[in-house]
Structure 1
């Protein structure tokens, strides 16, 4: 991992109002680019809006209309963009997908594998937990409900992920969201010696929230004011390198038993 700058956005996305949502997303991307951000992450289903009951109506293909626009912005601004799209799935229920638009024009996607109980009737689960690479970092994605399963974070860490983005569409008040994240996000970061970066939707019942934790479990920055905003965080690679460097035997042996070291390194 190298030092990098990330941005997280909490925003309101209107269901089915794709062009309006994209316009709002573009404004944040422009601001992030001015601040030399390397990666920007938007909430779950930020492009198409979150409404399980109407998911078939506003689902779209990936690659498709929105992902092509996002990809062009990623290339123009030289910033990696992570945004949520309801992905069409032929005759089956759509996926909750986070698209990853790289600066070289490549577009990847992560499909939510663990659906919340109220989502099961309306969406199809993904079946893969990939990691993605840019020059500065290897990262993974967990979407909302998936953070309730600590094994996912561990699996991604074992694949070499140094940073995990956690886009949410969680109907909690700002206070409830903050209290909940304070319990398990630092734990996920500390137990797996990994950076965690989380952002939530705002509007209707969604209370928003932004938080970044470092591999020591410390909260680097957070925003729980319940208003649309973006935070920018500088991630110091030395924190994770000092832990994951095999030459640092005391830390390395303490946090990664032999069978895990063989898998990870």
Structure 2
């Protein structure tokens, strides 16, 4: 059976500190490359932080066609896994909660969050659901709240993909975080069962201003079962041998 090693990072939260975020990402990418990963997933809003205040978001947003973002791409490794990373994007004055797909320092695609929370009014909703491939592995992207909507996963399944990449940022007030701690995987598991897709998620972790992020960073199979997960509230790298065309796979938490 052919397999592709995929990886997801559970990271600290970086807010308005692109250099620190890049340094962290480069270090994680080196570890993933050393362990043979072909794909590495980072959280929602990882590069600049999950900033939903419009003034803050505009201050740090990147136009993906700009020289400034070209300089960011130049920092990415020129070997190793394809990187999928959350960031705040601006295009013609419009803000988007975006995931970029980068291969050896080259931008090969993007996905814009389609389903926005009431607190995300600074952003416009994305309209497209592209899919990507690494060898025999075909995948699509959801960003956090997208996974509450069956149609978001169904669009990925309709494209012939087998895996959902879920970028998340669940830094919440502690009481709310405790309520939702076990619900994230439950909701994602519903999407897997409905579509027959696998899912891998990446989330932030840590505490800030009375808020806490537990994670989870995990892999769910087609039956919606958690088959691999990093410990909650600990940064780490999850490696997983994804089966292309089969049911069995192996997890390698680091």
Same fold per superposition (TM over 0.5)? yes
CA distance in structure 1 between the partners assigned to 2:157 and 2:50 by the alignment: 28
Deviation digits for residues 166-198 of structure 1, max 9, x if unmatched? 000123466544411232222211221111011
**Retained in 2: the 8 A contact 1:47–1:66?**
no
**1:169 match: secondary structure:** coil
Match of 2:239 in 1: 232
**1:23 match: secondary structure:** helix
Deviation digits for residues 14-42 of structure 1, max 9, x if unmatched? 22110111001111000000000010000
Choose 1 or 2 for highest CA Rg. 1
Gaps of 5+ in 2: 249-254
CA distance in structure 1 between the partners assigned to 2:241 and 2:201 by the alignment: 15
1:86 equivalenced with 2:93 (yes/no):
no
1:218 equivalenced with 2:220 (yes/no):
no
Return the structure number with greater strand share: 2
**Retained in 2: the 8 A contact 1:67–1:99?**
no
Return the structure number with greater helix share: 1
Gaps of 5+ in 1: 242-265
Give the alignment's TM-score, normalised by structure 1.
Answer: 0.82
CA distance in structure 1 between the partners assigned to 2:65 and 2:32 by the alignment: 24
**Retained in 1: the 8 A contact 2:140–2:165?**
yes
CA distance in structure 2 between the partners assigned to 1:140 and 1:55 by the alignment: 25
CA distance in structure 2 between the partners assigned to 1:22 and 1:66 by the alignment: 12
**Where in structure 2 are the equivalents of 1:1-265 lying within 5 Å?**
2-53=2-53, 54-64=56-66, 65-66=68-69, 69-70=72-73, 73-74=76-77, 76-92=78-94, 94-103=95-104, 105-120=106-121, 122-172=122-172, 176-203=179-206, 204=208, 205=211, 206-239=213-246
Match of 1:244 in 2: none
Give the alignment's TM-score, normalised by structure 2.
Answer: 0.85
Summarize the Cα distance change of 1:77–1:178 in structure 2 as closer, same or farther, 3 Å threshold: farther
Summarize the Cα distance change of 1:23–1:80 in structure 2 as closer, same or farther, 3 Å threshold: same
Shift of 1:89: 2.4
**Retained in 1: the 8 A contact 2:73–2:105?**
no
CA distance in structure 2 between the partners assigned to 1:139 and 1:175 by the alignment: 30
Structure 1 stretch displaced more, 29-38 or 77-86: 77-86
Summarize the Cα distance change of 1:66–1:207 in structure 2 as closer, same or farther, 3 Å threshold: farther
Match of 1:262 in 2: none
Summarize the Cα distance change of 1:104–1:67 in structure 2 as closer, same or farther, 3 Å threshold: closer
**Retained in 1: the 8 A contact 2:184–2:216?**
no
CA distance in structure 2 between the partners assigned to 1:60 and 1:22 by the alignment: 14
